[in-house]
């Protein structure tokens, strides 16, 4: 093979692999009827910590957008539910009434018809509750310890050989992200207690929440090699 052909073949394999790099995003809107997120200040993981859970009876319309996948698709799970178990630590002020607090734990989204089969699971060894300019969010990324597991209902929508990419640690670009937007936070007591006291400890509260997240998907090394070989075979046939 000439140098020109070798370079052309290398570029072809790279272009095929690059084209197969895509984002898979998912989301659900705040369900109707009541507040679903509950924080219980219970010192569950040490002084000043609390536990965040989610109402498993709340019906979620879980949207999966695979429009940038090689086999473009969109799927809506209309009868999804969520289990959440997150540990919330003490808040640290960052000025102007804003704060950040550590989060860790898991949440999983599943179909109500089969609670034992996850659609999507997230395990987070790190994350943050961030209050900024009056907004409240749970923020996660694989740069801080987030890891998604795509359940069999999601895997069935993907082409074989697709896997979650690694984060770009050099440039600080995440490959897995997730965020919950909290609204209508209600604390207990009369009058209602402050969300965070002077020691950075959260009060008991309930809130509404919507969710969005994404993962970058790439072909596994073996699948990428097969795609490249397929491209080379096609190129040779055209030249024959």
Q: Is residue 149 part of a domain?
A: yes
Higher pLDDT, 72 or 229: 72
Mean pLDDT of the 111-121 span: 96
Mean pLDDT of the 94-106 span: 96
At 223 the pLDDT is 46
CB 153: neighbour CB atoms within 10 A? Answer: 20
Asked if pLDDT for residue 139 goes beyond 60, the answer is yes
Mean pLDDT of the 202-221 span: 96
Are 153 and 77 in contact by the 8 Å Cβ rule? The answer is yes
Mean pLDDT of the 130-150 span: 97
Mean pLDDT of the 138-165 span: 97
Q: Is residue 14 part of a domain?
A: no
Domain count, the chain: 1
Q: Which domain holds residue 55?
A: 22-239
Q: Is residue 12 part of a domain?
A: no
Alpha carbon of 86 to those of 4, 78, 238: distances in Å?
Answer: 56, 25, 56
Rg (CA), the chain: 22
* Predicted structure pTM score: 0.83
Mean pLDDT of the 128-134 span: 96
Mean pLDDT of the 32-53 span: 96
């Amino acid at each position: 093979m000439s140098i020109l052909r070798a370079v052309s073949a290398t570029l072809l394999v790279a272009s095929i692999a690059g084209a197969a790099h895509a984002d898979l995003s998912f989301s659900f809107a705040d369900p109707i009827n009541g507040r679903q997120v509950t924080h219980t200040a219970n010192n569950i993981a040490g002084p000043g910590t609390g536990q965040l859970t989610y109402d498993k009876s709340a019906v979620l319309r879980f949207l999966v957008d695979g429009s940038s996948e090689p086999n473009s698709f969109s799927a809506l799970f209309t009868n999804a539910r969520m289990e959440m178990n997150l540990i919330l630590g003490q808040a640290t002020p960052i000025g102007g009434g804003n704060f950040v607090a550590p989060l860790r734990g898991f949440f999983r989204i599943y179909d109500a018809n089969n609670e034992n089969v996850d659609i999507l699971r997230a395990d987070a060894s790190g994350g943050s509750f961030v209050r900024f300019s009056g907004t409240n969010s749970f923020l996660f990324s694989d740069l801080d310890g987030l890891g998604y597991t795509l359940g069999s209902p999601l895997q069935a929508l993907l082409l074989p050989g697709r896997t979650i990419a690694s984060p770009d640690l050099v440039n600080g670009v995440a490959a897995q992200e997730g965020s919950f937007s909290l609204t209508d936070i209600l604390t207990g007591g009369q009058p209602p207690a402050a969300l965070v006291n002077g020691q950075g400890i959260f009060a008991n509260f309930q809130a509404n929440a919507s969710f969005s997240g994404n993962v970058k998907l790439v072909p596994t090394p073996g699948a990428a090699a097969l795609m490249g070989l397929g491209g080379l075979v096609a190129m040779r046939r055209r030249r024959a």
